[in-house]
Amino acid sequence: MWKSKDIYYISDSTGILITNLGESLICQFPEINFHEEKFPYVKTVKDALKTLDYILEQSRGRRPIIFSTIMDIEVRDVFRSPEVEFFDAFDYFLDPLEACLEAKALRVPGFLRLDDDVTRARRVEAIHYSLDHDDGTRENEFDQADVILLGVSRAGKTPVSVYLATQLGLKAANFPLTAEYLARLQMPPSIVRNVKRAVALTTTPEMLHRMREKRYPKSNYAKLTTCIDELQQSEHIFRKHHVPMVSSAGKSIEEIATQVTQELGLVKKPGSVR
């Protein structure tokens, strides 16, 4: 069994679809450490060759995994190298679906089937909002958020925010509880006045330690004792302000996002009645 593996998400559009799919798959292998990189807008053979050269240089014969949603066959075939493990979403789904439906697919990069122009505009607005309000940026505009995700550093706030925006059209902001707030057991006024729209992401100390070690190995920031202290302090703050908590440990982004929306009443919980 591999102890670690390099994963590359490659697309001729934004890469959101293949990244979500790939992350949903690899989260089923928690015992393996994955190094992940994304390459959106790979549209030409030249782009593909340059990207493949980078991947092979980085992975150094360790047979990296490539997840792809590239429509152009010539561009896609560049990545069918014996030195990589290549998984193309359209190979597995689109060709059989054409046969099932007895129709030809558009095969247009980045095409989304949305209900109408209003839906499209709302989703684009949500995406821009979430990107502009990541990691505590422009917190004075948190009053406009549909969801505010709280948590310590590396608890999973950013990917869940992006998922809520891209898939559900929700304006999702996120705010990290840094040492400044943890030491005082407080939250900033921008969060307190919007606390009914806030959900906290927690995790286990061990999981947080592993995530931080990948980014800053052997640092005080990544020490298990630091992780334990920060999680305890943050959970004290969340209980004090009655912020619902969702654990991100061992869960896919989709699962976490669903629980977040359930906590805020945006999606019904199983078994609930009107």
pLDDT at 104 over 90: no
Token readout for 26 is 């690899």
1: confidence class by pLDDT, cuts 50, 70, 90: confident
Distance CA 158, CA 135 (A): 7
Q: How far apart are CA 264 and CA 199, in angstroms?
A: 8
For the full predicted model, state whether its pTM sits above 0.75: no
Percent share of the chain, pLDDT over 70: 92
Phi first, then psi, for residue 266 (nearest 5°) are -80, -20
Among the residue ranges 7-16, 115-124, 134-143, 185-194, the one predicted with the least confidence is 115-124
Task: Let me know: does 169 contact 266? Beta carbons within 8 Å.
Answer: no
Residue from 259, 263, 250 nearest 26 by CA: 250
User: At which residue do the structure tokens 């699962």 appear?
Assistant: 255
For each of the domains in the chain, give its residue range(s) and CATH number, in order of start. 4-101 (3.40.50.2300), 117-263 (3.40.50.300)
Q: How far apart are CA 145 and CA 118, in angstroms?
A: 18
Q: Taking Cα atoms as reference points, which of 159, 158, 248, 150 lies closest to residue 205?
A: 248
Q: What is the pLDDT of residues 222-269, one digit of tens each?
A: 999 999 999 999 999 999 999 999 999 988 888 899 899 999 988 644
What are 129-146's pLDDT values in tens digits? 999 999 999 999 999 999
Q: Give CB contacts under 8 A, 24+ apart, made by 217-221.
A: 221/153
pLDDT, tens digit, 9 for 90 and up, residues 21-77: 888 889 889 889 999 999 988 989 999 999 999 999 999 888 999 999 998 999 999
**Residues 6+ positions from 39 with CB-CB distance below 8 Å:** 8, 9, 10, 11, 15, 51
Q: Tens digit of pLDDT for each residue in 172-183?
A: 999 999 999 999
CA dihedral 89, 94, 97, 101 (to 10 degrees): 160
The answer to whether residues 79 and 56 touch, using CB atoms and an 8 Å cutoff, is no
Among 87, 45, 39, smallest CA distance to 63 is for: 87
